[in-house]
Chains A and B, each alone.
Chain A
């Protein structure tokens, strides 16, 4: 059980401190308001990602770390991304991105020839172009490797050479605040543990296989446990929301009944935040107990009305104004302001799955 709990204490120091072991993540604005101006010393908590988590510190994002150009990461918003964890890539080089793109094109063409990717509606002669680029803004700290984006765009052969291409598949390797492990890596290895995919599965498998054989790495679907989903619910509910924010919604599934049952429990964002604000005792920090209390409050309010024990059901999806996450390992980013914070959380989940 402990091994499955990747939410981990961090020895992170506060605003402005240069001894921060990880780049400060953009925090919940409420934490930013209440965090004292002076640097907080690292609590020296064990960093063991396999350990049972106790708390998570939420330092705010120093000015310099905010995304320099939000436009470059706007492509992440409002799409459904499937998550994978990726083991370190051997002999990956940023200078060879164009070569990789070329090799990937060849790979995709070869698969089409083999006829493996044929299905109804799949145009055999669709002209697919592969682009591999680096996104320097998409990282947490300086130690992180900049994100790598793979894009597949298509154009039907009937259209002219200059007609616009349609984006059909996106894959993004990234690492947001994965510091400690990237420090211990032997050279020749690039650490981009989180992989996000948007697009057809057939391309995912072709591209994934190519990366696996070329860089000797492994992809695994990243499932998100109910435990982590509750952390996300608590953390994201605590973020400051504007008037038009969407509700905090939790979806539970009870599959093993004669007739399966799904329960959607949506709380008005202001009320959910009001509850969370009374639960969170120490500003700038969230503890496991606080997450448990928050969830228990929601469960008992539900039980009071319906006499059903939500704790006996499976939490499968959490949705707030910040993002929505599903236990199958899919995520949707809804706000650019907290994008990096969510990426940091996902990187952490990916890292703990790898280990």
Chain B
């Protein structure tokens, strides 16, 4: 077995949390159950990985087989990578029957004709997701197994989730291979990025609880019967709190929101202020870059108005994130006669 393969397997095992190693090896299926029984999974990871490598030696593992273990690892821990979303387009409405074998053949053929040094692995999962792992080399060097690209393609949809981590120069090649293999004509990158792959899928496949903008006439307020005079003040607060809650519900829906870590806005709008203040009054844009970050951005935004930090309803620039399926925006001034309005793309 190649020294580099041994090292690759060793390092992959070290990434896996100790309690998970056995299950992952079983999923991998490269080592027999009998072989797995011989491994002591209660020792330190260094030793476990050495034992695994030795067994792989006995079975003469090659790099492609080793790569499958990496795919399994990334499928279970996708949030360690940053994912971008691409949308493919085709002219014409016909929905063709998706032939997996054909797709794989064409994908490999396209990449190999451009670069003969690539390692390509496919793995299909129950939810119609095809995971593709590509390790890139150059005409003169072997593929770098540590800087791999991952593609997750749901064949029933035009969406592709890509985790690049490679030279930008190979990205167009990857995109071309995808549209060639899937019989689409065009591919574009959406302005949507996150570590949480499932949330990206939720947004793009509209799997979260959507808010339906319906007209809700305000229910008649029932007068409270309590006699104390200060109850009036309390009621005021309560109605405001209820209003905020209702608006939040309309905007964000009720259920859990997709998990995004950041949203970025490039503002190119004009600075406006009260003319009496005598401050900046330029027609040129007041250029800003605003970035929101949070472990769970949408939840965080949802809680701003109830916390008193924001007005309700919250700005559509923020609430449109799931519907518009993007978290990178460029905002320009709307060219209209009505001042004080701006465009959200």
Contacts and interface: CB of A to CB of B under 8 A. Distances in A.
Interface stretch (B41-49, B174-182, B185-193, B311-319): B311-319
Interface in B283-335: 284-297, 299-301, 303-304, 307-311, 313-315, 317-318, 331
The 9 closest A-B pairs by CB, nearest first: A268-B287, A259-B300, A261-B300, A308-B310, A307-B315, A307-B311, A264-B291, A259-B296, A266-B289
Interface stretch (B22-30, B98-106, B234-242, B272-280): B272-280
A259 B299 contact: yes
A282 B300 CA distance: 42
Interface string A280-299: 00000000000001000100
B243 to A, nearest CB: 14
A267 B317 CA distance: 18
Interface residues of A: mostly helix, strand, loop or mixed? mixed
A310 B254 CA distance: 26
A267 B286 contact: yes
B277 A275 contact: no
Chain B interface SS verdict (over half): loop
A268 B297 contact: no
Contacts of B309: 254, 308-309, 312-313
Interface of B: 265, 267, 269, 271-273, 277-282, 284-297, 299-301, 303-304, 307-311, 313-315, 317-318, 331, 340, 342
A266 B286 CA distance: 11
Nearest to B303: A257
A249 to B, nearest CB: 8
B291 A305 contact: no
A259 B262 CA distance: 12
Given A264-B290, A306-B315, 17 more contacts: A254-B309, A257-B304, A258-B299, A258-B303, A259-B296, A260-B295, A262-B293, A262-B294, A263-B292, A264-B289, A267-B287, A274-B280, A301-B271, A305-B265, A305-B269, A306-B290, A306-B310
9 contacts: A258-B300, A261-B293, A267-B287, A268-B286, A274-B282, A275-B286, A305-B331, A307-B311, A308-B310
Nearest to A275: B280
Contact of A259 (B277, B278, B303): B303
A300 interface: yes
A277 to B, nearest CB: 8
A99 interface: no
A297 B273 contact: yes
B167 to A, nearest CB: 28
A71 B25 CA distance: 59
A47 interface: no
A216 interface: no
Contact of B288 (A259, A265, A300, A307): A265
Interface string A230-260: 0000000000000000010000001011111
Nearest to B291: A264
A279 interface: yes
Contacts of A312: 308-309
A268 B288 contact: yes
Contacts of B284: 271
A267 B288 contact: yes
Contacts of A309: 309-311
A263 B290 contact: yes
A300 B296 CA distance: 26
Contacts of B296: 259
B318 to A, nearest CB: 6
Nearest to B270: A301
Given A274-B282, A293-B277, A305-B317, A266 B288 contact: yes
